[in-house]
Amino acid sequence: MTSAVRYLTEAGFLGKFYIDGEWRKPGGSETAAAVNPATEQPIAEIALGNEKDVDLAVAAARQAFASWSRKPAAERASLLDRVQGLLLERLELFAQAITSEMGAAVTYARRAQVPLAAEHIRVARDNLATYSFLTRRGGTAIMREAIGVCGLITPWNWPLYQITAKVGPALAAGCTVVLKPSELSPLSALLFAEVMGDAGCPPGVFNLVNGTGPIVGARLASHPKVDMISITGSTRAGVLVAQAAAATVKRVAQELGGKSPNIILPDADLSRAVPLGVGAAFRNLGQSCSAPTRMLVSRSQMAEVEILAAAAASELVVGDPLAESTTHGPIANRPQFERIQTMIGVGLEESAKLVIGGPGRPDNLQVGLYARPTIFSNVRRDMRIAQEEIFGPVLSIIPYDTVEEAIEIANDTVYGLGAHVQGTDMDTVRKVAGQIQSGQVHLNYPDWDPNAPFGGYKRSGNGREYGREGMEEYLETKAVLGFYR
């Protein structure tokens, strides 16, 4: 039993939900096993909620909304400050939980999964401190008011990070929330609920109900007393949530799939651009919706790029996620592992050139959902591996003949979440960035900016998270004419 599972077991949280400031037993008896992908063995049994549990949580959030939305901004910011402090104070416990539930190398969980999650809370606090909820436009007052009760649906790949990206700005805006984390990575969510209670969150402001999408997610989306749904997940899941929400005309914010391009311009420093591009594509085992898994390269530079990419991939250490030397652990769950294996097979069937990796586990690993970091070259834009989101450590190198063609290939996808451009001539780099249809573009691998709004064009979703725009998703706009006379 891992330290995080032992902690949750001893605290009695595994079989309960957090509703109205209390840990409560579920209304039904359905459960699900949390599985450690490194061992493929169950490590905990969690309760799964039903519609009654959702109704109780929504009622608690509705009851708490009037008071919470009218709290002074400074008071809401103070809560967020305490939440951030507790997240950092309990960093190791959260890291162990994330490693156990979805396989992230514990070193990566410590330096990215947990601290970056805490940054979302800090940013929400800081933006709240300076945000103008009342502005003047002539004689009219423009008021920004909390939208109401928000249902938050989060995924398994960045479990804590996506929770804080939604909870932080929603609470900052004055909303109350019901969180449905992924049933595949529930441990860090339970720990987060404890943090909310220990931070002094008023009853009903934050609620958590574990469960499946078809039951808990669908009830949240269709609930007449839920004013907004924010979902991070697959495009398919986003469509189902939007359909369920349509009857009540509630706001739906969606951060969905991606197939992000990384354009390596001919004047780029390949010795830097290619290894960092491989690292970005394989970050979190490629299990990130914005991972730049299409590397677009000038045809004349393909041979050199293949050598550099293979060398970068060979330096990755796939193995026991608890080992300090491991850079990449197992794939998070069995369905995703099978999806990755299938798509690697598709790449071979499509006659893409296998540069490194391939199907199956790495040779030294016989147990666990471990995948080989895989790179294909000479990939055509119409191949499935160039069009479909794989969500794993699979990189496609696609040749282009002109920069104009590179831009065309970059945009030749139903997605538009993220993109990268590498080059020396910054005028050209900026010009190319301006022509890519995506919600974010990274130029020459900049540092992560938690204040940069994040969201998609096309089938990557709508709405924005992070920064000021992330909080504004949870606000309504009211115009009061004649306010100023």
Residue 155 predicted with pLDDT over 90:
yes
Name the token pair of 200. 């002094």
The structural domains of the chain, with segments of one domain joined by +, span 3-256+461-480, 261-449
Residue 175 is among the residues annotated as catalytic for this protein: no
| Same topology between domain 3-256+461-480 and domain 261-449 | no
pLDDT digits (tens, 9 = 90+) for 227-282: 999 999 999 999 999 999 999 999 999 999 999 999 999 999 999 999 999 999 99
Q: What is the mean pLDDT of the chain?
A: 97
The mean pLDDT value for 15-31 works out to 97
d(CA 292, CA 276): 11
261-449: what CATH class? Answer: alpha beta
CB 158 within 8 A of CB 113: yes
The mean pLDDT value for 78-107 works out to 98
Placement of tokens 């085992």 in the chain: 285
Q: To 5 degrees, how large is the angle CA 461–CA 121–CA 157?
A: 50
d(CA 374, CA 366): 18
Q: Residue 219 carries which side chain, given as an amino acid letter? A: R
Residue 82 predicted with pLDDT over 90:
yes
pLDDT at residue number 278: 98
Residue 1 predicted with pLDDT over 70:
no
pLDDT at residue number 313: 98
Q: Are strands 374-377 and 394-400 parallel, antiparallel or unpaired?
A: parallel
Q: Does domain 3-256+461-480 have CATH number 3.60.9.10?
A: no
Catalytic residue among 175, 194, 289, 389: 289
Task: Report the interhelical angle of 187-198 vs 91-102 (nearest 10°).
Answer: 160
Residue 326 predicted with pLDDT over 80:
yes
The mean pLDDT value for 188-202 works out to 98
pLDDT digits (tens, 9 = 90+) for 334-377: 999 999 999 999 999 999 999 999 999 999 899 999 999 999 99
Q: pTM of the prediction?
A: 0.97
d(CA 169, CA 185): 22
Work out whether the CA dihedral 297, 112, 104, 324 comes out positive or negative.
positive
Residue 289 is among the residues annotated as catalytic for this protein: yes
Tell me what percent of the residues of the chain surpass a pLDDT of 70.
Answer: 100
* Nearest to 157, CA basis, from 375, 347, 340: 340
CA separation, residue 256 to residues 310, 389, 472 (Å): 30, 11, 19
The mean pLDDT value for 393-418 works out to 98
pLDDT at residue number 3: 87
Residue 12 predicted with pLDDT over 80:
yes
pLDDT at residue number 32: 96
Residue 206 predicted with pLDDT over 80:
yes
Residue 90 predicted with pLDDT over 80:
yes
pLDDT digits (tens, 9 = 90+) for 458-479: 999 999 999 999 999 999 999 9
Overall size of the chain counted in residues: 485
Catalytic residue among 101, 119, 255, 472: 255
pLDDT digits (tens, 9 = 90+) for 101-126: 999 999 999 999 999 999 999 999 99
Residue 436 predicted with pLDDT over 90:
yes
